[in-house]
Structure formats: C-alpha cells, structure tokens
C-alpha cells in the first residue's frame, strides 16, 4: 500500500480528538445481534450452580433455564448454544446418552422452543459430553473411528432437529460429517435446519475450563490431536472450510478465537460464507480473572470482541454475551 500524506499537514490525531468523532469514523461496532450465548445444563430440579473454572458462569437445571433465557430475550441475543453436563452414570464408550430422546439437550430444546420461540437454538454435534473417555468420537481398536462415529453423529443431529433445534453445529472434527448430516436432514425433510460447521477447530489448551464445565476433563486421558487441527499449520485450513461448504455447511466456525484471528481473516477474504468466532472458555476465564483481579480494565471484554469483528467474523460465541449486551446498552 502506498502511504499518502505526512505530518504536519496530516495529523492522524484529528480523528481521535473527541468521542463523537471517534464514533463517527468507527468502522466496526457491536450489537447484541452479533452474540451467541453458550449455556450449560445439568440434571435435577431448581438448581443453578457455579462453575469454579469459569467465574460468573452457571449450570442450570432444565426447569431453571428461563432464568437465563429471560435475559437472552431481554437483550435480544439471537441464539443460544446448549451444552450438557452429563452425570458419570450415564456415560459409556459409545456416548449412547447422546441418542436418548429424553436427555438434557432434548428436554432443553423443547422447553426453550415452547417458552422462547423466537430465540435460535444451536446444538453441538459431538459425543464428548456423553462418552466415558471424554472423546468426541467412539474408540475402536484404540483409535477414534471416523466413519463409525459419523453414523452416530448423524443420528444425534436428526434427534436434535426433531426436537426443534435450529442450527446443528458439528464440533467433532471427523472428516465428512457435514455431508452425511445434511443428506440425512434433507431425507427427513428438515430443509430449514441449518448447519454451522466447526470447520476450523484446533487442538487447543484453551478448552480446559469448558471440559470442566461439561465434566469431560477428568475423563479425558489423552489429547484430541488425531482429529482436531494442528495449530502449526495453514495447509489444511482452506480444505476444511471448502469441503464443509461443498458438503452443505451454511456457516463456518473458527475456534478458539483470539489466538486465531489470522485464520478468521483468511477465511473471510477467501470464501463467501458467514464466519463465526468462538471465544472459548479459556479465553473467557483469562479475561474474566484478569478483570476480577484488577489486572485488566473492564473494557478488555469489548476490545476482545471487536478484534473478532475487525478480523471479519459476523458473530461471536461468547460467555460474555449477556455482560456485553448490558454494556452496549449503557454506552
Ligand atoms: C466439544 C467442544 C469443545 C468446545 C465446544 N465443543 C471442547 C473440546 O473440543 O474439547 C470448547 C468450548 C470452550 O472451550 O468454550 N466438541
């Protein structure tokens, strides 16, 4: 790029001199339209419990979901993402509970669709909340079996669609799952159920608090590097996205968020598809603890979300969604 102008004729501080002019020239702004709130669900009745590794975030029993959904509605957050904390006794090698039509996710979808029909619901398709080993797929002869796993994932996706889920979000990183899920959804005439593919998901240390929140951390004895992506590389990124689009993805996710802004911007610049960023649990807890301990100013939250917008994300999955919606209202 050719740089035009120079000091003293040009003074870049002119456009920063007051709040109104900064607002006038601002290229990116956040509204609650940009936010997706993840919600953790637990068994029992009348339960709202804190999650130690994620200060400020709770697990809700299904009957208590309206407490948080009322906030979502009030702040006009378009969509929630549901995650179950499955008790150990319901976990097995195959993640069978994923296909139980009375599991926590199914019950939650039904309740939310009944009481909050205008809130979008997104559900992960992956087995990790349900397996006794904490992996996203099933293990055969010591390996995560791709093709057998996607058969189960397809059933999981169909079940969620049947319950009323709007957006199916495969987060497992098996090859070919978007195509088989789209085909199965269409066969059952779920033409309007969309697929938000976790297309680009790295094997990351930033998922720690989430694994704690859904109770898979203690179960997991190895990493997920045979299916989640290697963060040293660029070579598979476009194929991951391109394959998923060809297979029928409507939107793609990049995850984690903040340390992968380069990836968001590459996808944005090379594909015509909505790109969604996931500000994952580790990012949340770092920023939240930083603020609580007064190491960071509170504006760090908005600053982090704005980085995603600048990079090209159209919306952001973030545990800060309610907090942000409150903040932008008072601005
Ligand atoms: C599991 C899944 C994970 C997250 C969302 N879905 C964790 C993982 O892959 O181990 C992480 C979300 C977060 O850290 O906030 N399929």
Domains and CATH numbers, the chain: 29-330 (3.20.20.70)
Instruction: Among 210, 212, 219, name the best residue to mutate to test ligand 1's pocket (greatest count of ligand atoms within 8 A of Cβ).
Output: 210
Dist. CA 256 → ligand 1 center (Å)? 9
pLDDT at site 331? 54
Tokens of 63: 């009957």
Measuring CA to CA, which residue among 30, 55, 36, 57 is closest to residue 278? 36
> CB of 211 closer than 6 A to ligand 1?
yes
* Rounded Cα gap, residues 321 and 310, in angstroms: 18
CA distance 177 to 150: 6
Binding site membership of 171 for ligand 1 (Cβ less than 6 Å): yes
Whole-number Å distance, alpha carbon 70 to ligand 1 midpoint, is 25
Distance in Å, CA 21 to ligand 1 centroid: 40
What's the pLDDT at 36?
98
Report the alpha-carbon distance of residue 138 to residue 149 in Å, rounded: 6
Residues catalogued as catalytic: 201, 255
DSSP string for residues in 220-266: --S-STTTSBPTT-STTHHHHHHHHHHHT-SEEEEES-GGGHHHHHH
Nearest atom (ligand 1) to Cα of 124? 6
Q: Beta strand 48-50 with 58-61: parallel, antiparallel or unpaired? A: antiparallel
pLDDT score of 330: 60
The answer, yes or no, to whether any atom of ligand 1 lies below 6 A from the CB of 320, is: no
Whether ligand 1 lies within 6 angstroms of the CB of 210 is answered as yes
Three-state SS at 277: strand
The DSSP 8-state label assigned to residue 29 in this structure reads -
Contact 195, 227 (CB under 8 A): no
Residue 123 in contact with residue 169, Cβ under 8 Å? yes
Here the tokens at position 1 are 């790029």
Q: Is 124 touching ligand 1 by the criterion CB < 6 Å?
A: yes
What would the DSSP string read from start to end of 119-182? SEEEEEE-STTTBTT--SS-EETTEE-HHHHHHHHHHHHHHHHHHT-SEEEE-S--TTHHHHHH
- The angle formed by the CA atoms of residues 287, 288 and 293, to the nearest 5 degrees, is 100
Atom 8 of ligand 1 has which residue's CA nearest to it? 207
Cβ(136) – ligand 1 distance below 6 Å: yes
DSSP 91-103: -BTT-GGGG-TTS
Spatial separation of the C-alpha atoms in residues 184 and 232, rounded to whole Å: 34
pLDDT truncated to tens, each residue of the chain (331 aa)?
999 999 999 999 999 999 999 999 999 999 999 999 999 999 999 999 999 999 999 999 999 999 999 999 999 999 999 999 999 999 999 999 999 999 999 999 999 999 999 999 999 999 999 999 999 999 999 999 999 999 999 999 999 999 999 999 999 999 999 999 999 999 999 999 999 999 999 999 999 999 999 988 889 999 999 999 999 999 999 999 999 999 999 999 999 999 999 999 999 999 999 999 999 999 999 999 999 999 999 999 999 999 999 999 999 999 999 999 999 876 5
**The predicted structure's pLDDT at residue 217:** 86
């Amino acid at each position: 790029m050719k740089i035009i102008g120079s000091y003293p004729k040009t003074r870049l501080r002119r456009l920063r001199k007051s709040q109104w002019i900064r607002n006038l020239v601002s290229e990116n702004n956040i509204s609650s339209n940009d936010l997706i709130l993840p919600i953790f669900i637990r068994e029992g009745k009348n339960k709202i419990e804190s999650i130690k590794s994620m200060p400020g975030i709770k697990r809700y029993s299904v009957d208590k979901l309206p407490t948080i959904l009322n906030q979502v509605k009030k702040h006009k957050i378009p969509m929630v993402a549901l995650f179950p904390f499955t008790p150990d006794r319901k976990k097995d090698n195959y993640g069978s509970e994923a296909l139980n039509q009375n599991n926590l996710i199914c019950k939650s979808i039904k309740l939310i669709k009944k009481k909050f029909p205008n809130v979008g619901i997104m559900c992960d398709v992956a087995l990790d909340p349900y397996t006794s080993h904490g992996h996203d797929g099933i293990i055969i002869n010591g390996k995560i079996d791709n093709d057998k796993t996607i058969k189960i994932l397809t059933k999981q996706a169909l079940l969620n669609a049947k319950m009323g889920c709007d957006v199916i979000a495969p987060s497992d990183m098996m090859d070919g799952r978007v195509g088989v899920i789209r085909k199965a959804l269409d066969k059952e005439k779920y033409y309007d159920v969309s697929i938000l593919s976790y297309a680009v998901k790295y094997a990351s240390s930033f998922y720690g608090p989430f694994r704690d929140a859904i109770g898979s951390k203690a179960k997991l004895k190895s990493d997920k590097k045979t299916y989640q992506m290697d963060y040293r590389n660029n070579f598979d990124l476009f194929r991951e996205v391109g394959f998923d689009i060809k297979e029928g993805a409507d939107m793609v996710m990049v995850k984690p968020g903040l340390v992968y802004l380069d990836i968001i911007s590459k996808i944005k610049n090379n594909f015509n598809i909505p790109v969604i960023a996931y500000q994952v649990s580790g990012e949340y807890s770092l920023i939240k603890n930083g603020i609580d301990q007064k190491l960071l100013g509170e504006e760090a939250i908005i600053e982090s979300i704005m980085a995603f917008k600048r990079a090209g994300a159209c919306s952001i999955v973030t545990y800060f969604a309610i907090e942000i919606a409150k903040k932008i209202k008072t601005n």
